[in-house]
Chain A
Amino acid sequence: MQFIISRYNPQIDKIPYDQTFELDNTQISTDSMLLDALHLLREQDPSLAYRSSCQEGVCGSDGMNVNGRNRLSCITPLSDLPQKIVIKPMPGLPIIKDLIIDMELFYQQYQGVDPFLQSEPLDLQHEHLQSPEDRAKLDGSYECILCGCCTTSCPSFWWNPDQFAGPAALLAAHRFVIDSRDIQHVDRLKNLDSPTQIFRCRHIQNCTDACPKGLNPSRAIQELKSIMVKEI
């Protein structure tokens, strides 16, 4: 298998360049993931830099652009990919080294939507009651792992990463707007009402296509828009 990997070391290189690696097909088993291959490549070149941690698709460390699509390498089977694999860092944010990007702006945008439950004061004797139906509304929003695959594939975010929160942050905003326990419902909606926030989303659907967890940020944003129209 051939891997064409974007390399960049800020201490040496002016701009990123592509480096070609080869892996013998005997080193790969039928159920190998892309991350397994990267580990083998790192044995060839220990300076090859990418993030990874849990290796099972729940920590969200190893987002990268594989043959033009943002994916998590640990849950991307090699058998799904062609013999020639082009790997680049996820687009739209500054590259630190090789496949590692600076996600500071992504995290700031997430923090900017107040992604925390604001509920009635703490009562240690009772939990909030929530019906299974109300709880089921959170399915599809709370599972986000903040890998950034969606936001870094969003053209609206590429263009205005400092203004537009991006799909991951808006998915989080959605999760709290629809949580029956949250009491800041209206304030949350008001804060999102601006042409540079959720209305900057044009439902291009790149986010939904990219999400490795099968979530649908675009639909969540659409839902936020209609809640907003109805309620404020």
Chain B
Amino acid sequence: MDVSAVRRGIRDVAPLLLGVAPFGLVAGVAAINAGLTLEQALGMSVIVFAGASQLAALELIGRDAPLSVVVATAVVINLRMLMYSASIAPYFRSLRARSRSIAAYLLTDQAYALSVSAYRSEDAIDRLAYYLGAAATLWVVWQVATVAGALLQAGVPDALGLEFAVPLVFLALLVPAMEDGPTVVAGLVGGGIAVLGAGLPLNFGLLVGAAVGIAAGVASETTLPVGASDAH
């Protein structure tokens, strides 16, 4: 494995940790507030390892919602990773089955967005090494932050709105992903539809928005030029 690619993955993911760490803190606090033990809080972060779905599940658990609804909500939120899996899979085809199964476990919004953009701009990069550098770093920070949140609990004031750091990280990933006309259309339409659908149950607004955004991007190829315009 190419150590310099591991290091590049770690370096590229470092600024994103500023948003991931508060998110993990919030997940740890939410777990304790919902009545989970410290072991369960950490267990959830290790076993599920998907922040948005963890927060949604914890809120429902805290309200004693039916457990089938808890599971369904979390799974629907994570369905977006089906798209990540399909999108990153072509780059992982040369990996061994065991490496692929580990890479799948570590698949997150941030690891996905960073890696696909690195793979696109650089064909020769050691893909697994870069991916593990970014994804495993995210994993470690997520677990440490969850435990810290569970232990600090009351010491993390709600009013700070730390969970707002999460969409800011996604925004920082979104801007470079809008590289030409059709991708800008996909992002804006996906975002707009998701805003309109935010009230839908089970977070369907996210999935509907993403699906319509992708369709809009493809449709706009007939009128807008495809390819990096480097407009900014």
Do A and B pair up? The answer is no
Binding site for A on B (CB under 8 A): none
